[in-house]
Amino acid sequence: MESNFILELIGNNIWAYLVTALIPLIFVVVYALVAILGELKIASWVQDRLGPMRTGPWGIIQPVAEVVKLLQKEDITPRNANKPLFNTAPFIVFTGSFAAFAAIPYSSKFIPADINIGVFYIFAVSSFTVIAILMGGWASNNKYSVLGALRSASQMISYEIPTCLSIIAIAALANSLSVSHIINAQSGWFWNWNLFGGQGPLYKFLFIPFTLVLFLVYFVGSLAEANRNPFDIPEGESEIVGGYHTEYSAMKFAMFYFAEYANMYVVSSMITILFLGGWNSPFGNFLNSPIWQAVWFIGKAMFFVFVQLWIRWTLPRVRVDQLMHICWKVMLPAAFVSLIFISLLGVIN
């Protein structure tokens, strides 16, 4: 197990696996606090405001205050809700998001579970949340919740197809579905990243237009899958109050909130794995030790979290018909064409 330094340190026993499972959990909690602060700050900076400034220096402990506030709030279950489903939905949402972290690497020395279908696993598990969203929305016994849940289900299922096709194309390019294999195939300088056609001799320039298209398709699709703007019609506050989490309060609401932020990191790290060379340093062997690799990986993923927030405060929400147009008439053909060309070029070689 050279991909998990904890197993080398402690040995192959249950404690090592517990620690391996605990590190991503701590990472998610810390990351969620940072992302909440980032959301607050970027929202206000884009609107020429200062954002939270009173809690701590420059308001940096505002997310902690928000979590404490949510912990203190009353936990309300509507009288006519379906109680078992209503109460389990938030936990299933978070389980779905967190389970994906099992296969997300941090550096070449720490991949919690280095399975040979890692990319497939991450994709499959993170689409688990749609069940929980549908469950929570239906169990709330509220029209807004049901509408939000239905919109969410239709959106997430539609957008899974083009994103899935772009993953297949990259898997064809790298000849593997394993996270570590895909990343190792992009080692070296940044022009070896899949975004720029992957590693290979000069003919790789033929791939570049298609990988750029796939990158766009995957990025747009991941926005839709994480229910982020401009595809946040399942939670459209101005139309359907809060969508599927209208009836949730206190910690159960926090779980939905938490899962959304965790999902943002999952899709961002998927972009990093598939297109941006994962943990590899952009400058060959320069700063490429395992610790620096973690910095590179988290940095690249956080950059895409930032881009998601940036887009959220730039674009208005799309209409449902526009949403379906983008998915079925634009992204799907583009992903298909790219997949066919990449597979053809792969076969010819």
Partner 1 sequence: MENQNKIKRYFEGIWTGIYTVLVGMAITWKHLWGHKVTMQYPDKFDPLKTGFIPEFSRNRLFVDIDKCIGCAICQKDCPIDCIEIETIRASKEDPEAVFPSGKRMSLWVSKFDIDFAKCMCCNLCTENCPEDCIYMIREFEFSVYDRMNLLCHFSKMTPEKIAEKQKIAEEEKAKKAAAPKQAPAAGQKPDNPKTE
Q: Which is nearer to partner 1, 103 or 305 (CB)?
A: 305
| Total residues binding partner 1 (CB under 8 A) | 18
Q: Which is nearer to partner 1, 42 or 153 (CB)?
A: 42
Q: Which is nearer to partner 1, 217 or 339 (CB)?
A: 217
Structural contact between residues 97 and 158, judged by C-beta atoms closer than 8 angstroms: no
Q: What is the dihedral of CA 273, 305, 298, 118, to 10 degrees?
A: -30
Only one residue has tokens 């340093």, namely: 281
Query: Closest Cα to residue 266, out of 90, 52, 97, 86?
Result: 97
Q: Which is nearer to partner 1, 49 or 73 (CB)?
A: 49
Answer yes or no whether residue 49 interacts with partner 1 by CB under 8 A. yes
Q: Which is nearer to partner 1, 83 or 329 (CB)?
A: 329
Distances in Å between the Cα of 152 and the Cα atoms of 58, 163, 312 are 36, 16, 17
Answer yes or no whether residue 60 interacts with partner 1 by CB under 8 A. no
Structural contact between residues 345 and 198, judged by C-beta atoms closer than 8 angstroms: no
List 18, 53, 76, 157, residue binding partner 1 (CB under 8 A)? 53
Answer yes or no whether residue 46 interacts with partner 1 by CB under 8 A. yes
Answer yes or no whether residue 45 interacts with partner 1 by CB under 8 A. yes
Answer yes or no whether residue 47 interacts with partner 1 by CB under 8 A. yes
Distances in Å between the Cα of 94 and the Cα atoms of 29, 36, 228, 303, 340 are 12, 16, 16, 23, 36
Answer yes or no whether residue 337 interacts with partner 1 by CB under 8 A. no
Answer yes or no whether residue 319 interacts with partner 1 by CB under 8 A. no
Answer yes or no whether residue 22 interacts with partner 1 by CB under 8 A. no
Helix (H) or strand (E) holding 286: none
Specify the stretch interacting with partner 1 by CB under 8 A; choose among 44-52, 180-188, 246-254, 279-287: 44-52
Q: Which of residues 155-214 bind partner 1 (CB under 8 A)?
A: none
How far apart CA 255 and CA 126 sit, in angstroms, is 15
Q: Could you please report the per-residue DSSP string of 81-108? A: S-HHHHHHHHHHHHHHHHHGGGS--SBT
User: What is the nearest approach in angstroms of partner 1 to the Cβ of residue 320?
Assistant: 17
Contacts of 167 (CB under 8 A, 6+ apart): 119, 120, 123, 218, 274
User: What is the nearest approach in angstroms of partner 1 to the Cβ of residue 35?
Assistant: 16
Structural contact between residues 205 and 196, judged by C-beta atoms closer than 8 angstroms: no
Q: Which is nearer to partner 1, 128 or 313 (CB)?
A: 313
Structure tokens at 258: 């938490």
Ramachandran class of 78: left when φ > 0, alpha when ψ lies in -120 to 50, beta otherwise: beta
User: What is the nearest approach in angstroms of partner 1 to the Cβ of residue 47?
Assistant: 7
Q: Which of residues 246-275 bind partner 1 (CB under 8 A)?
A: none
Query: Closest Cα to residue 256, out of 89, 135, 101?
Result: 89
List 48, 74, 79, 202, residue binding partner 1 (CB under 8 A)? 48
Q: Which is nearer to partner 1, 52 or 118 (CB)?
A: 52
User: What is the nearest approach in angstroms of partner 1 to the Cβ of residue 173?
Assistant: 23
Answer yes or no whether residue 21 interacts with partner 1 by CB under 8 A. no
Query: Closest Cα to residue 79, out of 246, 247, 240?
Result: 247
Structural contact between residues 70 and 62, judged by C-beta atoms closer than 8 angstroms: no
User: What is the nearest approach in angstroms of partner 1 to the Cβ of residue 338?
Assistant: 14
Q: Which is nearer to partner 1, 153 or 307 (CB)?
A: 307
Structure tokens at 68: 């404490």
By rule CB under 8 A, what string of x and - marks binding of each residue 277-316 to partner 1? ---------------------------------xx-xxx-
Answer yes or no whether residue 336 interacts with partner 1 by CB under 8 A. no
- Give the footprint of partner 1 on this chain (CB under 8 A): 42, 44-50, 53, 216, 310-311, 313-315, 326, 329-330
